[in-house]
């Protein structure tokens, strides 16, 4: 069974002559244990696709299911609960709270209402597993880009999501740090988790099981 299943996604920005349809009937299935990389030029709609898959944005048409639960058309309370159970997000710019240490950023996600039982212990375990214990008490500005991204990945995994959505996760890193993050993502794909990685970097797609390209609003084999 696919962890995420999307059919006929349509999303348009702007109105009238300036309207631009970035998703125009896009379909996608991703199985557990699979990494799918989505390539495309800047502005092609890659980030919009991730936001729709994760319930951060709603399409004008089409359906999305994650973990067998309907995302499209769900109310905000149900969407919030669904994201906590099933979806982890990793972004290019980390989005760590600057006043909290790296580990505190991770554990904050474990303390929100509705977090999975054992999330605090899992958060600490992830800090150790990702090789971050020596810098766990450092503030984000004291960390390297690669370290910040690893903390961001740990935060995304606190509730053990079945779907990890990574939006240009190496776009703000140097080559060495980027390679380390990609290797980590490859390791994190498991029998219980699917990963969708969007990027404009062909090198980032090498860890993927399948590579798709977003062209004219639809996903095609790269």
What confidence tens digit (pLDDT) does each residue in 149-206 have? 999 999 998 888 999 999 988 888 888 888 888 888 888 887 789 999 998 888 888 8
In a domain, 152, yes or no: yes
Does the pLDDT at position 82 exceed 90?
Answer: no
pLDDT at 177 (0 to 100): 85
pLDDT at 141 (0 to 100): 95
In a domain, 109, yes or no: no
- Half-sphere exposure (Cβ direction) of 47: Cα atoms closer than 13 Å: 11
What confidence tens digit (pLDDT) does each residue in 100-147 have? 999 999 998 888 776 777 888 989 999 998 889 999 999 999 999 999
Total count of domains within the chain: 1
Q: For residue 66, what are the domain limits?
A: 2-96+146-221
CA distances from 200 to 44, 89, 156, 162, 183 (A): 10, 18, 22, 24, 18
Q: How far apart are the first and last CA of the chain?
A: 24
Does the pLDDT at position 10 exceed 90?
Answer: yes
In a domain, 191, yes or no: yes
CA distances from 144 to 106, 133, 150, 168 (A): 16, 14, 10, 17
In a domain, 186, yes or no: yes
């Amino acid at each position: 069974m696919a962890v995420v299943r999307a059919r006929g996604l349509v999303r348009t920005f702007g109105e009238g002559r300036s309207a631009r349809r970035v998703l125009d009937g896009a379909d996608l299935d991703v199985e557990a244990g699979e990494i799918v990389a989505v390539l495309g030029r800047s502005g092609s709609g890659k980030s919009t696709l991730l936001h729709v898959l994760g319930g951060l944005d709603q399409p004008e048409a089409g359906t999305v299911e994650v973990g067998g639960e309907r995302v499209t058309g769900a109310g905000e309370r149900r969407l919030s609960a669904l994201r906590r159970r099933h979806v982890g997000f990793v972004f290019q710019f980390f989005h760590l709270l600057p006043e909290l240490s790296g580990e505190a950023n991770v554990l904050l996600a474990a303390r929100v209402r509705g977090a999975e039982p054992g999330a605090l212990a899992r958060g600490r375990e992830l800090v150790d597993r990702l090789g971050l214990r020596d810098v766990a008490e450092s503030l984000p500005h004291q960390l390297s880009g690669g370290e910040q991204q690893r903390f961001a990945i740990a935060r995304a995994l606190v509730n053990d999501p079945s779907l990890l959505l990574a939006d240009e996760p190496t776009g703000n890193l140097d080559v060495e740090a980027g390679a380390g993050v990609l290797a980590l993502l490859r390791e994190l794909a498991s029998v219980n988790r699917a990963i969708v990685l969007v990027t404009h970097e062909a090198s980032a797609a090498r860890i993927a099981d399948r590579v798709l390209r977003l062209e004219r609003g639809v996903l095609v084999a790269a």
